[in-house]
Amino acid sequence: MRRLTAILLAMPSQAQASGLLSDNLRITSESLGYDLQYRVYLPEGHDELVALPVIYVTDGPSYIGEGRMPRVLDREIAGGRIRPLIAVFVDARDPDDPDTNRRNQQFVCNRDYLRFFSEELVPTIERRYHSAADRDSRVILGVSFGGLNAACFGLMGFETFGGIGMHSPAVHPVPGLLPAYEQVDRLPIRVFLSTGDSYDNTAANRQFRRILEDKGYDLHFREVAGRHNWDNWRPLIDDALRFFFESPER
């Protein structure tokens, strides 16, 4: 048994696949009037691949650190469960003063923030990397207020994003959001929505689920035992990735 254990420990792990995570990259936004930074995850073999889908992740440093999302991407791609894809981790903080976080202004259905994505960041990514250039290949993902932002982009930016991913969205800062989804015709988006079962915007997210189901959205909903923290969200990152980017072989 000890020998078998030693052999297994010596074997390379799929979780150690060699995707590449860039350093911080800086971009000047005319729409917002200030600079932002972001990091880009490229799957192994990016230079030989074409038309890769892209997931744009708000609160990028948290998804990298607490969420360990690059490791999840490596593992899921290496295991053949999802297609190779590009991930863009967007930082809401001031690049020159990381203690200044702009997320409370950016994530509340801010049309200038959407314009930054659709007219500045997305074109930059598609010029520099081997990404697809169609809305169905783009997903916006966020947690809490970032989930609210994804919901806003679903309403306001569906011409840019074909999928919205929301971990425990905090929808209360925009009280008209859920009524808007209830009132408009079904939009051409796929939706991932998760929530914990206590102290996690649970009642609002259950209501959001009912609205989306009644409208007939392509929806993947998960409710789990957990509160508003990364112990809840971290294990659900692969669920979102598989929903949007499942490998055709599966």
Q: What is the DSSP string of 145-199?
A: HHHHHHHHHHHH-TTT-SEEEEES---TTSTTHHHHHHHSPPPS-EEEEEEESSS
**Per-residue pLDDT, 190:** 98
Interatomic CA distance for residues 76 and 235, integer angstroms: 13
At residue 87, the pLDDT reads 98
Judge whether 11 lies within some domain.
Answer: no
Judged against a pLDDT cut of 60, whether residue 10 lies above it is answered with no
Three-state DSSP state, 142: strand
Answer yes or no: is pLDDT of 186 > 60.
yes
Mean pLDDT on 43-56: 97
Predicted confidence at residue 249, as pLDDT, reads 77
Percent of the chain with pLDDT over 90: 91
Three-state secondary-structure class, residue 225: coil
Contact 242, 235 (CB under 8 A): no
Residue 224 lies in a domain: yes
What is the band of 210 on the pLDDT scale with cuts at 50, 70, 90? Answer: very high
Residue 200 CB neighbours (<10 A): 23
Give the pLDDT band of residue 18 (cuts 50, 70, 90): confident
Task: Output the pLDDT for position 9.
Answer: 36
Residue 9 lies in a domain: no
| 227-231 contact pairs (CB < 8 A, 24+) | 227/196, 227/198, 227/199, 227/200, 228/144, 228/168, 228/196, 228/199, 228/200, 228/201, 230/62, 230/66, 230/67
Average of pLDDT values for 19-33?
98
pLDDT in tens, 211-243: 999 999 999 999 999 999 999 999 999 999 999
State the Cα–Cα distance between residues 132 and 55, nearest whole angstrom.
Answer: 11
Q: What is the pLDDT of residue 106?
A: 98
CATH code for position 141: 3.40.50.1820
- Reported pTM: 0.93
* 84: CB partners within 8 A, 6+ apart: 43, 44, 45, 46, 49, 52, 77
4 inside domain:
no
Domain that holds residue 29: 17-245
pLDDT at 60 over 50: yes
Calpha distance 48→194 (Å, rounded): 34
Q: Residue 3 above 70 pLDDT? A: no
Interstrand relation of 163-167 and 190-196 (parallel, antiparallel or unpaired): parallel
- Residues 117-136: tens digit of each pLDDT: 999 999 999 999 999 999 99
Q: What is the mean pLDDT of residues 159-169?
A: 98
Q: How many domains does the chain have?
A: 1
The answer, yes or no, to whether residue 75 has pLDDT greater than 50, is: yes
Report the Cα 103 to chain-centroid distance in Å: 15
Residue 250 belongs to a domain: no
Q: Would 8 be classed as within a structural domain?
A: no
Percent of the chain scored above 70 by pLDDT?
A: 93
pLDDT at 250: 66
Query: What's residue 248's pLDDT?
Result: 87
> Does residue 86 surpass a pLDDT of 80?
yes
Q: What integer pLDDT is reported at residue 17 of this predicted model?
A: 65
Mean pLDDT of the chain: 93
For residue 183, tell me if it sits in a domain. Answer: yes
Specify the pLDDT at position 6.
40
Range list of H helices, 87-144 = 103-106, 111-115, 122-128
